[in-house]
Amino acid sequence: MSADVRILAAEPGCHLFGDNGCGFEAPTIGMFFPEPWFANIPGSTGIDLYLVLLLVAVGAVLLLWSWFSRKLSLVPGRRQSVGEMLVLFIRDNITRPTMGAKGDSFIPFMTGIFTLILAMNFTGLIPGMLPVNSNLAFTAMFALVIYVMTIVIGIKHQGGWGYFRNQIFPPGMPKWIYVLVTPIEILSVFLIRPVTHALRLFATMFAGSLLLGVFAYGGWYMLNLSAEPVLAAVSVVYSGAALLGYIAFFVFEIAIMLIQAFVFTLLASLYLNQSLEAAH
């Protein structure tokens, strides 16, 4: 199935109002596995759509920050001011609340993570395309990078055994309770945390795209201008309602994309802080 489900979402001639006799075919997860581009060229395996969209997102982020940082000055112009506002947003809403002043050294990294994830989410706003983060491989890679960083930074600041001891033996508890707490902490810190970090972003982008596909499928299926005049008019009303639902959820999805980029970055900052706090 093509990823272009939001433009043409059903078989030609299959409509609700009419006598063509074919039923509604809802979108499936097949929409998230588009055929590679140019796969029909002899000797070629094609080009993966997600890889193309990833390159588009990375290129957009590089161009954006190149534009923000061009001709920097002590008295910022409008372009530089917008970039500084974004950096200050990350500092005041993510790094400072979670890491304090010691988190200032992580501001460039967190800003890059936030803008890249946001750009990878926004590829789903391109007509016929999908969010890069609706593919679990990409969100898992982000979560893996944060996971490795927390361990490396934790060992650097707390020592090898010190870091793992602080994670699995929370201080201030009676020794006997560690029999219950330690297995839970091991699962939480070293398995559940990175898995949920990846799944949260992936599942939201996946579900949002699928729901938009349902609106597109349903709107096309209910539209039948070739039916009898009365049925054709009714089909326009029903299809128009689906279109309004699509537009409303499309706007809502933009907000969700922003929130999920923020949440992923915020959690990354929290996890990194847990690797630093025992050293301060």
pLDDT band at 44 (very low <50, low <70, confident <90, very high): low
Q: Of the ranges 51-55, 125-129, 149-153, 183-187, which one carries the lowest mean pLDDT score?
A: 125-129
Give 21 or 221, the one with higher predicted confidence: 221
User: What does the alpha-carbon distance between residue 222 and residue 182 come to, in Å, rounded to a whole number?
Assistant: 56
User: What does the alpha-carbon distance between residue 179 and residue 87 come to, in Å, rounded to a whole number?
Assistant: 44
Mean pLDDT throughout 32-44?
Answer: 75
Q: Of the ranges 43-47, 60-64, 148-152, which one carries the lowest mean pLDDT score?
A: 43-47
pLDDT in tens, 91-108: 999 999 999 999 999 999
pLDDT in tens, 146-161: 999 999 999 999 888 9
DSSP readout, 150-209? HHHHHHHHH-HHHHHHHHHS-TTS-GGGHHHHHHHHHHIIIIIHHHHHHHHHHHHHHHHH
pTM of the predicted model as reported, rounded to 2 decimal places: 0.87
pLDDT of residue 224: 80
Dump strand ranges (E) for the chain: none
pLDDT band at 279 (very low <50, low <70, confident <90, very high): very low
